[in-house]
Amino acid sequence: MQFTLNNGLVIPAVGFGTYKASGEAMSLAVDAGYRYFDTAEFYGNEGMLGEVLRKSGLRREDYMIASKVWKEHLGYSATLEAFSRTLEALGTNYIDVYLIHWPRPDLVREDWRELDRETWRAMEELYSAGKIRALGLSNFLPNHAENIIEVCRVMPAIAQLEFHAGHMQACAVRYYRERKIQVQAWSPIGRGRVLGDELIRELAAKYGVSPVQVCLAFCLAEGVMSLPKASSRERLRENLEALSLRLEGEDVMCLENMPPLGWSGEHPDRERVKIV
């Protein structure tokens, strides 16, 4: 299963989230068949990921890398410098997807709107130069995204949000859908917090799958790409096998209407950044 972005780029429906991932887990993900790897300057593991991919034997065109500019490096010049460091760390000459990681440097600075627009201008230049294949936003709610969409030359192709059963961010997802911007889910299983929910466990028993697979299949039913994390060979394969699970419509509706559950507490206008 794949998704086609608003600029025509085709991406897998499930990727591998590398936050706090070890080199061994990255290698196992490659072996399991993952071909989309989500990293970030803030994670401090771009170099490790680059080394794993170089040693994998895969051609550069056979996999996709997404990375992000951190909130401390917003602005035109700072973004260009951050992107250059990312390219060097990954050992590549282009990035498939590049996102602004967080919309505000902090809750005090009032110039965040200008910083975001200048960051986007730098990213647009890199996109036009062929250094980035698709641009995106991470943790941007509609009030943050609109600031960029009002003036951009290149529309965002991806919006990465915390998204899972029990925390669907319906307003933000609707906003992005209306603008044909692909939503990606970080924390598609609520960092494990939703796996013990009675409904999810009942559905797992009904379909003969794991609670994790129910959560990932739910993302796909909602048209949302997921970025699960795993460190074992079994879990990595299990996550990819969720691609073949089709939930019945009534079950999807039940999951859509779950009570609030599993929110990380991260919010760009209220902070508490542990981040993904």
Please count the other Cβ atoms lying within 10 Å of the Cβ belonging to residue 244.
11
In contact, 47 and 58? CB cutoff 8 Å: no
CA distance 104 to 82: 16
Scan for tokens 């209220």, then name that residue.
Answer: 270
Give the angle 275-227-159 at the CA atoms, nearest 5°.
Answer: 70
CA distance 21 to 209: 25
Point out the catalytic residue in the list 19, 34, 36, 43: 43
3-state SS of 49-87 is HHHHHHHCCCCHHHCEEEEEECHHHCCHHHHHHHHHHHH
Give the angle 25-123-179 at the CA atoms, nearest 5°.
Answer: 90
- CB-side neighbour CA atoms (13 Å) of 57: 2
43 is catalytic: yes
Q: Give the pairing of strands 2-4 and 10-12.
A: antiparallel
- Look up residue 237 and give its two tokens: 């394969």
CA-closest candidate to residue 227, choices 131, 136, 116: 136
Whole-angstrom CA distances from 259 to 29, 164, 199, 262 are 33, 12, 11, 10
* Catalytic residue numbers, as ranges: 43
